[in-house]
Amino acid sequence: MPRPLRSLLAWLPAVLIVPAAMAASIQLSEPDHAVNPVSELQPFDLGTTWVYDVLDHGKPSGTHTKQVSMKAGVDFARLDGVAVSGAYTDYPGVGESSSIVYLSLDEHAMYQDGLRQNGQYLKLEPAAPAYELPLKTGGTWSYDGTIGSAGLTMDATIQDITDMTVSGRVFHGCLHVVTDLDFTFDGGGGDKETVEEWTCPGYGTVRTSDSIPAQDVEITEELVEFHGDSGDWFAEEPAAVTAEPQPGDTVGFDAGRTRAVPEGALESTLAWTDLRSADIAYPPVSDGDVMVLGEEDGQVSGMDLGNGQMLWRRQVNAPVIAPVAIGAGRALIADTDKNLLALGTDDGSTRWIHHFADVVSASPTVSGSSAVVVTDDGVVTALDLASGRVVWAHDLGVRTRSAPAVTHGLVVVPDIAGSVVALDLEDGSQRWSRSLDGTLTAGPAADDERVFVADEGGVVYALDAADGGVAWQTRTNYDPEGDFAVSADAVTVRVGSERLESFDLHDGDKRWSRGVADTELSPVVVGDELITVSRKAEVSALDLGDGRETRSWSLPLPGAHTSLAADVPLGLVDGNLVIGTAMSAEAQRTGLFAFPVTATAERRGVSFGSEIRVLPKPPMTAPALIGDTLFVPGLDKTLYRSTGSQDVERVATSQGIQPGVAVRGNLMVTQIDGEFRGYPASGGDPLWKFPAQAPALGMVSAIGEDAVFLPEYGAGLAAASLDGAPLWFTPIDGALGATQPLPLPDGDVFYGSGSAARYDGGSGDRLWSVDGAQLFAPAAYSDGVVFADLIYNTRPSGLAAIDAGTGKIRWFHENANSQTLIGPAAAGGVVVYGDSLGLVTAFDAATGTELWRVQLSTPLAGSPVVADGRVYLAEAGRDEDVFQRDYRMSAHDLRTGAFLGAYQAPGTAFAGSPAFAGSDDGRLMLPTTGRLGATMVILEPQS
Amino acid sequence: MTDQTIPDGATPAPGAAAPRLPQVRRLARSARPVWETAFRDPVVASHLQLRGLNLIERHAARFGLVTLGMLLVSILFTDVWRHGELLPLGEGDRLAFLPTALLPATLVTLLIAWTLILWGALTASPLMRLAASLTFLLANIWLIAPAAVDIGDHRALDWGPNAVRVGYYLVPGVVALSGAVARLPRIRRWLLPVFRVAVLGGLSMFFLGQLWMHLAFVDEGFPGAVQELVDGAILGTANILNPLVYVAAVLVVDFSLDVTEGVAVAARDASRRLVRWLLVALLVVKVWVEVVRHLDDWTTYLHDRPWAALHTVTMLVVLAVTVRLVARFRMTRAFDTVKERLLYGSAVVLSLILIGHVVASSLGVFAITELHKDEIPGFLNGYPVNGLLTWGQPILGALAVIFGLWLLRTGTEDGRTRLPVARELGSGLVVLGVWLVPEFVLNAAERNPGFSFPLADIVITLAVAALLAVRWRRTETSDALTLTAITVFAWLALSRGDWIALVGGLFGLPAILVVVFGIVYSVAGDSGFTRVSSKRMPQGSRVLIFVGYLVLSVTTLHWVEVTHAENFSGPFSYLGFYYLGIPWAAWLLGRRLIDLDDRIDEIEAEEDAYEAAVAATGPPTSGEPATVPEP
pLDDT digits (tens, 9 = 90+) for A641-693: 999 988 999 999 999 988 899 999 999 999 999 999 999 999 999 999 999 99
pLDDT at position B596 over 80 = no
**Residue A290 clears pLDDT 90, i.e. is over it:** yes
Give tens-digit pLDDT for A244-287: 999 999 999 999 999 999 988 999 999 999 999 889 999 999 99
Q: Strand A917-918's sheet: what is its strand order? A: A607-614, A933-942, A924-930, A917-918
Q: Which of B87, B104, B570 sits opposite A28 (nearest CB)?
A: B104
d(CA A527, CA A539): 16
Nearest C-alpha of chain A: how many angstroms from B200? 15
Q: Do A439 and B448 touch (CB under 8 A)?
A: no
Calculate how close chain A gets to B274, using CA atoms only, in Å: 35
Give the residues across from A564 on adjacent strands: A583
Return the pLDDT at B400. 93
What pLDDT shows up at residue B606?
Answer: 65
Average pLDDT for residues A220-242, to the nearest whole number?
Answer: 94
- pLDDT tens-place string over residues B500-552: 777 777 777 777 777 888 888 888 777 777 777 787 788 899 899 999 999 99
Of the listed ranges A671-680, A912-921, B52-61, the least confidently predicted one is A912-921
Query: How confident is residue B13, by pLDDT bands cut at 50, 70 and 90?
Result: very low
Whether A398 and B510 lie within 8 Å, measured CB to CB: yes
Is B105 in Cβ contact with A473 (below 8 Å)? no
Q: How far apart are CA B618 and CA B620, in angstroms?
A: 6
Interface mutation vs chain B, best among A26, A33, A80, most B CBs within 10 Å? A26
User: In percent, how much of chain A has pLDDT > 90?
Assistant: 76
B165 and chain A in contact, CB less than 8 A:
no
For chain B, the residue count is 631
Distance CA A645, CA A643 (A): 7
Q: How far is A582 from chain B (nearest CA, A)?
A: 11
Of A19, A26, A31, the CB nearest to B70: A19
User: Quick one: which H or E segment has residue A781?
Assistant: strand A780-782
Contacting residues of B for A17, CB less than 8 Å apart = 63
**Which is more confident, A409 or B327?**
A409
CB atoms within 10 A of CB A911: 12
Structure-derived torsion over alpha carbons of residues B151, B153, B154, B158, reported in degrees to the nearest 10: 80
Q: How confident is residue A116, by pLDDT bands cut at 50, 70 and 90?
A: very high
Least confident span in A417-431, A584-598, A768-782, B564-578: B564-578
Put simply, the answer to whether B567 touches A416 (Cβ < 8 Å) is yes
Q: Which residues of B touch A338 (CB under 8 A)?
A: 86
| Interatomic CA distance for residues A573 and A284, integer angstroms | 7
**Inter-chain touch A397–B92, beta carbons under 8 Å:** no
B453 interfaces chain A, CB cutoff of 8 Å: yes
**Residues B108, A868: Cα–Cα separation, whole Å:** 64
B249-261 burial by CB neighbour count: b if 16+ within 10 A, else e? bbbbbbbbbbbbb
Give A35's contacts in chain B (Cβ within 8 Å): none
pLDDT for B5 beyond 50: no
Of A659-673, A892-906, B127-141, B484-498, give the lowest mean pLDDT range.
B484-498
Sheet containing A624-626, strands listed edge to edge, beginning at the edge strand earlier in sequence? A624-626, A629-633, A638-642, A648-653
Predicted confidence band of residue A203 (pLDDT cuts 50, 70, 90): very high
Q: What residue in B sits closest to A464 (Cα-Cα)?
A: B297
Phi, psi torsion values for A31, nearest 5 degrees: -60, 135
Chain B: closest CA distance from residue A142 (Å): 30
pLDDT at B602: 66
- Which chain B residues have a beta carbon less than 8 Å from that of A475? 305, 308, 449-450
Interchain CB contact of B361 with A (< 8 Å): no
Q: Which of A25, A282, A318 sits opposite B108 (nearest CB)?
A: A25
Which pLDDT value is given to residue A362?
A: 92
Which of A25, A79, A317, A522 to mutate: most B Cβ within 10 Å? Answer: A25
Q: Which of A43-52, A313-322, A539-548, B185-194 has the lowest mean pLDDT?
A: B185-194
Q: What is the pLDDT of residue A711?
A: 96
- A751 to A659, A745, A779, B165, B555: CA distances (angstroms): 16, 14, 8, 68, 76
Distances in Å between the Cα of A626 and the Cα atoms of A155, A704, A782, A826, A941 are 57, 15, 22, 21, 16
Mutate to test the interface with B, among A6, A8, A18, A432 (most CBs of B within 10 A): A18
d(CA A934, CA A615): 5
What is the pLDDT of chain A when averaged over all its residues?
Answer: 92
Residue of A281, A417, A478 lying closest to B92 (CB–CB): A281
How far is the first Cα of chain B from the last one, in angstroms, to the nearest whole number? 10
Query: From A17, which residue of chain B is nearest by alpha-carbon distance?
Result: B63
In B, residues 570-599, which contact A (CB 8 Å cutoff)?
570-571, 574
Find residues 490-529 of chain B whose CB sits inside 8 Å of chain A.
505, 510-511
For B224-238, the pLDDT digits (tens) are 788 888 998 888 888
Min Cα–Cα distance to chain A from B606, Å: 28
Q: Does B567 lie at the interface with A, CB-CB under 8 angstroms?
A: yes
Rg (CA), chain B: 27
* Terminal Cα-to-Cα distance of chain A (whole angstroms): 89
Whether chain A has a CB inside 8 Å of the CB on B108: the answer is yes
Residue A379 neighbours by CB distance under 10 Å: 18
The b/e string for B150-172 (b: 16+ C-beta within 10 A; e otherwise) is: eeeebebbeebbebbbbbbebbb
Is residue B618 within 8 angstroms of chain A, CB to CB? no
pLDDT classification of B16: cutoffs 50, 70, 90? very low
Measured in angstroms, the CA of B376 and the nearest CA of chain A are apart by 19
The β-bridge partners of B215 are: none
Do A478 and B305 make contact, defined as CB atoms within 8 angstroms?
no
The answer to whether A489 and A460 have CB atoms below 8 angstroms apart is no
Sequence-distant (≥ 6) Cβ neighbours of residue A856 within 8 angstroms? A309, A310, A834, A838, A839, A840, A873, A875
Q: Which residue in the set A3, A29, A397 is minimally distant from B104, CB to CB? A: A29
Q: Lowest-confidence range among B62-71, B410-419, B506-515?
A: B410-419
Phi and psi based region of residue A637 (left: phi greater than 0; alpha: psi -120 to 50; beta: remaining): left
pLDDT of amino acid B622: 42
Cis peptide preceding A319, ω within 30 of 0? yes
Whether the predicted pLDDT of B12 surpasses 60: no
- Whether chain A has a CB inside 8 Å of the CB on B54: the answer is no
Q: How far is CA A32 from the centre of its chain?
A: 35
Of A338, A475, A507, the CB nearest to B308: A475
Residues of A809-821 as b/e, b for ≥16 C-beta within 10 angstroms?
A: bbbebebeebbbb
Q: Provide mean pLDDT across the span A235-240.
A: 93
Helices (H), B370-497: 378-381, 385-387, 393-411, 420-444, 453-470, 477-494
At B17, is the pLDDT very low, low, confident or very high (cuts 50, 70, 90)? very low
Query: pLDDT at position B335, please?
Result: 83
Instruction: Let me know: does A540 contact A269? Beta carbons within 8 Å.
Output: no
Pairwise CB contact (< 8 Å): B448 & A477: yes
| pLDDT tier for residue B1 given thresholds of 50, 70 and 90 | very low
Residue A360: name the closest of B510, B92, B95, B90 by CA. B95
Residue A819 pLDDT > 90: no
Taking one residue from A and the other from B, the number of pairs with CB-CB distance under 8 angstroms is 154
CB contact under 8 A, A439 and B571: yes
Residue B22: pLDDT over 70 = no
Chain A residues touching B570 at Cβ < 8 A: 416-418, 438-439, 456
Does residue B326 have a pLDDT over 80?
Answer: yes
**C-beta atoms of A25 and B511 within 8 A:** no
Could you give the percent of chain B with pLDDT greater than 90? 25
Measure the CA–CA gap between A540 and A544, rounded to whole angstroms: 12
ipTM: 0.84
In chain B, residues with a C-beta closer than 8 Å to the C-beta of A376 are 82, 97, 564
Cβ of residue B555 closer than 8 Å to a chain A Cβ: no
Say if residues A81 and A103 touch (Cβ distance below 8 Å): yes
- Could you give the CA distance from residue B209 to residue B169 in angstroms, rounded to a whole number? 14
Give the angle subtended at the CA of A889 by the CAs of A886 and A892, to the nearest 5°: 125
For residues A222 and B276, give the distance between their C-alpha atoms in angstroms, rounded to a whole number.
Answer: 83
**B25, containing H or E segment:** helix B23-34
Pairing of strands A285-286, A339-344: unpaired
Q: Is B373 on the interface with A (CB under 8 A)?
A: no
Q: Minimal CA–CA distance to A226: which of A205, A243, A257?
A: A205
The answer to whether the CB of A203 falls within 8 A of the CB of A184 is no
* Whole-angstrom distance, CA of residue B82 vs CA of residue A100: 36
β-strands A370-374, A379-384 pairing: antiparallel
Residue B281: pLDDT above 50?
Answer: yes
d(C-alpha B489, C-alpha B628), whole Å: 29
Check CB contact of B300 with chain A, cutoff 8 Å: yes
Between chains, do B447 and A477 touch, taking CB under 8 Å as contact?
Answer: yes
- Nearest CB to B63: which of A14, A470, A472? A14
- DSSP 8-state code for residue A860: B
Predicted local distance difference test score (pLDDT) of residue A513: 93
- In 3D space, the residue among A510, A488, A413 whose CA is nearest the CA of residue A453 turns out to be A413
pLDDT at residue B29, rounded to an integer: 66
Indicate yes or no: CB of B221 within 8 angstroms of CB of A477.
no
What CA–CA distance (Å, rounded) separates A363 from A332?
A: 9
Looking at residue A32, what is its pLDDT? Answer: 66
**Phi, psi angles (nearest 5°) of residue A334:** -105, 135
| Record: contact B97-A361, CB cut-off 8 A | yes
Distance from CA of B623 to the nearest CA of A (A): 9
pLDDT band at B152 (very low <50, low <70, confident <90, very high): low
